[in-house]
Amino acid sequence: MEQLQMTRSTQLKTKPATDQLGFGRHFTDHMLLMDYSKGQGWHAPRIVPYGPLTLDPSAMVFHYGQEVFEGMKAYRTPQGEVVLFRPDMNLKRLNHSCERLSIPQVDEKALLDAIRQLIVLEKDWIPEGEGNSLYIRPFIIATEPGLGVRAAHDYLLLVILSPVGAYYSEGIHPVRIYVEDQYVRAVRGGTGEAKTSGNYASGIKAQEVAEGLGFSQVLWLDGVEHKYIEEVGSMNVFFKVNGEVITPALNGSILAGITRDSVIHMLKSWGVKVTERRISVEELYTAWQEGKLEEAFGTGTAAVISPIGFMKWEGHEMEINGGETGDYAKKLYDQLTGIQRGELDDPFSWRYVVR
Ligand SMILES: *Cc1c(COP(=O)(O)O)cnc(C)c1O
């Protein structure tokens, strides 16, 4: 990749108060852009002041949704270093998503280095305070004008940064989940295992309905039989049944979460039996009836670990672990956030120091 060009903003923004960040509401002074054209490949990587884009109204992304994205976080350690968590995995997954959406592959190493330079420039935006971090959103859109349905020849890659608050301002607490039995998120052979906007667009309706009924997230079942558990909103999902931890196997319609992979490694290192397999909601309900469903939790970059205290499936209501955060969820949250923030040892070499 060519040398990165840098145009600095002449008017820096006022940073938001660290106790009022929320999620994705504020953006830093600069962003990273890179173009793709059929003749030149990926070219012209540049850091420029954050601001609106100019695109042709017929740009293909607006019509057929050819887009992929990623999400990761930068943290400040107690020693004052800036670290990312397994960013190589995010860039590998970005290319996997690109492959599925017929978007040209990016050079993972060069992109990570460009992101590193953007974070170095914006490091004062990494918010102080327990649980706060700088959210990193890389994404690629098809920019070629025209209404023909095919893979575009021109793309724009962007990376924007947003200081975000702790997901749980009062410590982790269990959420209420609605098992969705009407709408589906993805089917095998579809785009479920790609991180692409269309998967979210098709899920908004169900999320809205669930919220209206007093639930915070939807648990998706498989798109064919409406039987097997897939994932929760933008999180993978884990269940502790009779001492064993079970999570749906990556079957092509589930997103391969990096938090999911990390949690599996951690549980195994503690000697816990972890099984990746198909699990039906019926099986889960039976385990609950028999008193064997001991814990449920979601995993993802935003919340890290999200304990599930209550689930509703058709007419059945299940309170899990007395509606309280389970021991594994708590321990995983403490250890994983400790590793991510540089407060604990890094036995799996997951931290990447930005310097
Ligand atoms: C991003 C995402 C996840 C979680 O992945 P992480 O890498 O752990 O953040 C899970 N499910 C969906 C649908 C996602 O988009």
Full residue range of the structural domain in which residue 194 is found = 175-340
3-state DSSP helix/strand/coil percent for the chain, to nearest 5?
A: 25, 30, 45
Strand partners, 176: 310
Is residue 140 domain-shared with residue 84, that is, in the same domain? yes
**Strand-pair category, 175-180 with 217-221:** parallel
Residue 52 belongs to a domain: yes
Of residues 130 and 10, more confidence is placed in: 10
What confidence tens digit (pLDDT) does each residue in 116-129 have?
A: 999 999 999 999 98
**Rounded to whole angstroms, how far apart are CA atoms 121 and 256?**
30
Strands 82-85 and 72-76: antiparallel
Q: How far is the CA of 147 from the centre of ligand 1 (A)?
A: 31
**From CA 97, how far away is CA 193, in angstroms rounded?**
8
108-114: long-range contacts at Cβ-Cβ below 8 A with a sequence spacing of 24 or more? 110/1, 110/45, 111/1, 111/34, 111/138, 111/157, 112/87, 112/88, 112/352, 114/1, 114/4, 114/32, 114/34, 114/45, 114/47, 114/159
The answer as to whether 13 is a domain residue is yes
247 and 119 in one domain? no
Q: What CATH number corresponds to the domain at position 151?
A: 3.30.470.10
Please indicate, yes or no, if residue 354 is contained in any of the structural domains: no
Give 354's Cβ-side CA count (13 Å radius): 29
**Mean pLDDT computed over 4-28:** 95
Per-residue pLDDT for 1 more than 70? Answer: no
Sequence-distant (≥ 6) Cβ neighbours of residue 15 within 8 angstroms: 26, 124, 125, 127, 163
Q: Give the C-alpha separation, 190 to 223, whole Å.
A: 10
Which residue among 93, 219, 254, 255 is best mutated to probe the pocket of ligand 1, counting the most ligand atoms within 8 A of its Cβ?
A: 255
Q: Ligand 1 atom closest to Cα of 90?
A: 7
* Local structure of 78: helix, strand or coil: coil
Residue 355 lies in a domain: no
Q: Residue 137: exposed, middle, or buried by beta-carbon count in 10 A (0-12, 13-18, 19+)?
A: middle
Q: pTM for this one?
A: 0.97
- In a shared domain, residues 109 and 191: no
How far is the centre of ligand 1, averaged over its atoms, from the C-alpha of 63 (Å)?
A: 25
**C-alpha of residue 200 to centroid of ligand 1, in Å:** 11
Q: Are residues 134 and 267 in the same domain?
A: no
Over residues 255-259, mean pLDDT? 98
- Closest atom of ligand 1 to 301 CA is 9
Per residue in 79-92, pLDDT tens? Answer: 999 999 999 999 99
Instruction: Kindly report, residue by residue over 189-205, the tens digit of the pLDDT.
Output: 999 999 999 999 999 99
Do 159 and 21 fall into the same domain? yes
Does 140 share its domain with 219?
Answer: no
Q: Rounded to the nearest 5 degrees, what angle is found at the Cα of 248, between the Cα atoms of 243 and 252?
A: 165
Please state the rounded mean pLDDT for residues 281-308. Answer: 97
Counted domains in the chain: 2
* Final residue of a structural domain among 113, 143, 164: 164
Query: To test the ligand 1 pocket, which listed residue (196, 207, 235) has its Cβ within 8 A of the most ligand atoms?
Result: 235
Q: Whose CA is nearest to atom 13 of ligand 1?
A: 234
Among 115, 137, 164, give the residue marking a domain's end. Answer: 164
Assess whether 157 and 196 both reside in one domain.
Answer: no
Confirm whether 267 is domain-assigned.
Answer: yes
Helices (H) and strands (E) counted in the chain, each on its own, are: 8, 18
Write down which residue in 164, 185, 211 finishes a domain. Answer: 164
* DSSP bridge pairs for 141: 67, 156
Summarize pLDDT for 135-170 with one digit per residue, the tens. 999 999 999 999 999 999 999 999 999 999 987 766
Q: Which residues line ligand 1 (CB under 6 A)?
A: 71, 195, 231, 234-236, 255, 257-260, 299-301
The CATH number of the domain holding residue 239 is 3.20.10.10
Within a 10 A sphere around the Cβ of 161, how many other Cβ atoms?
A: 25
What residue has token string 């998503």? 97
Q: Quote the ligand 1 centre to 235 CA distance (angstroms).
A: 5
CB 60 within 8 A of CB 36: no
Report d(CA 355, CA 147) in Å as an integer: 43
Site of tokens 């599996």: 264
Predicted confidence band at 209 (pLDDT cuts at 50, 70, 90)? very high
Residue 259 pLDDT = 98
**160 and 277 share a domain?**
no
Closest residue by CA, ligand 1 atom 15: 234
Answer yes or no: is pLDDT of 283 > 80. Answer: yes
Rounded distance between C-alpha atoms, residue 14 and residue 254, angstroms? 40
Structural domain contains residue 345? no
Q: Does some domain include residue 349?
A: no
Instruction: Find the 72 Cα to ligand 1 centroid distance in Å.
Output: 10
Could you read off the pLDDT of 239-255 as tens digits, one per residue? Answer: 999 999 999 999 999 99
In this structure, are 28 and 80 located in the same domain?
Answer: yes
Q: According to the model, what pLDDT value does residue 52 have?
A: 98
Closest approach atom of ligand 1 to CA 259: 8
CA angle 11–16–20, rounded 5-degree value? 165
Q: What is the pLDDT of residues 318-334, one digit of tens each?
A: 999 999 999 999 999 99
Q: Residue 201: which residues within 8 A CB-CB, separation 6 or more?
A: 65
- Position 170 scores a pLDDT of 65
Amino acid 130: pLDDT: 85
% of the chain at pLDDT higher than 70: 99
219-229: per-residue pLDDT in tens?
A: 999 999 999 99
- Co-location of 119 and 244 in the same domain: no
Q: pLDDT tens, 21-80?
A: 999 999 999 999 999 999 999 999 999 999 999 999 999 999 999 999 999 999 999 999
Residues 65, 141: Cα–Cα separation, whole Å: 8
Q: Domain check: are 141 and 228 in the same one?
A: no
Domain assignment of residue 169, yes or no: no
For the chain, the straight-line distance linking the first and the last C-alpha, in angstroms and rounded, comes to: 20
148 plus 184 within the same structural domain: no
